[in-house]
Amino acid sequence: MTFNIGFCGGHHGLEEGVQAQDLVQSRLNAILKIVRQSSCDIVVLQEVDRHSRRSAYVNQYQSLVDHSGYPFHHWVSTWQHPWVPFPFTLNVMAHFGPIDAGQLILSRHPILTSDILDLPQRIDRSVIYNWFYLHQKYHEVRISILNQVIRIGHLHLEAFSVPTRRLQMQRIAEQIADVPTILAGDFNTSEGDSTLDSLQKVGLTPCKGADLLDFPAWAPMEQLSYVVHSRHFSGTAMIDRQSQVSDHFPMMASLELKNLPRI
Compute the Cα dihedral for 154, 158, 162, 167 and give only its sign.
Answer: negative
Q: For 144-178, give one letter per residue: b (16+ CB within 10 A) or e.
A: ebeeeebbbbbbbbbbebbebbbbbbeebbeebee
204 assigned to some structural domain:
yes
Assess if residue 263 is contained within a domain. no
Give a yes or no: residue 262 inside a domain. Answer: no
* d(C-alpha 67, C-alpha 226), whole Å: 25
Q: Which residues pair with 234 in a beta bridge?
A: 256
CA distance 222 to 215: 5
Single pTM value for the model: 0.96
Query: 5-48: per-residue pLDDT in tens?
Result: 999 999 988 888 899 999 999 999 999 999 999 999 999 999 99
Instruction: Print the domain residue range for 237.
Output: 2-257
Average pLDDT of span 168-189: 96
Average pLDDT, the chain: 95
pLDDT band (50, 70, 90) for residue 73: very high
Element (DSSP H or E) covering residue 32: helix 21-38
Span between the terminal Cα atoms of the chain, in Å: 26
> In percent, how much of the chain has pLDDT > 70?
98
Q: Does 259 have pLDDT greater than 80?
A: no
> Which of residues 259 and 109 earns the better pLDDT score?
109
Cα–Cα nearest to 123, from 109, 112, 133, 138: 133
Cα–Cα distances in Å, from 95 out to 40, 69, 214? 36, 34, 28
Contact status, residue 138 vs residue 120, Cβ threshold 8 Å: no
Residues 204-246 have pLDDT tens digits of: 999 999 999 999 999 999 999 999 999 999 999 999 998 889 9
Distance of CA 37 to the CA centre of its chain: 19
- Could you give the maximum distance between any two Cα atoms of the chain, in Å? 60
Whether 126 is covered by a domain: the verdict is yes
Count up the domains in the chain and report the number.
Answer: 1
H or E element that contains 82: strand 72-84
CATH of the domain at 46: 3.60.10.10
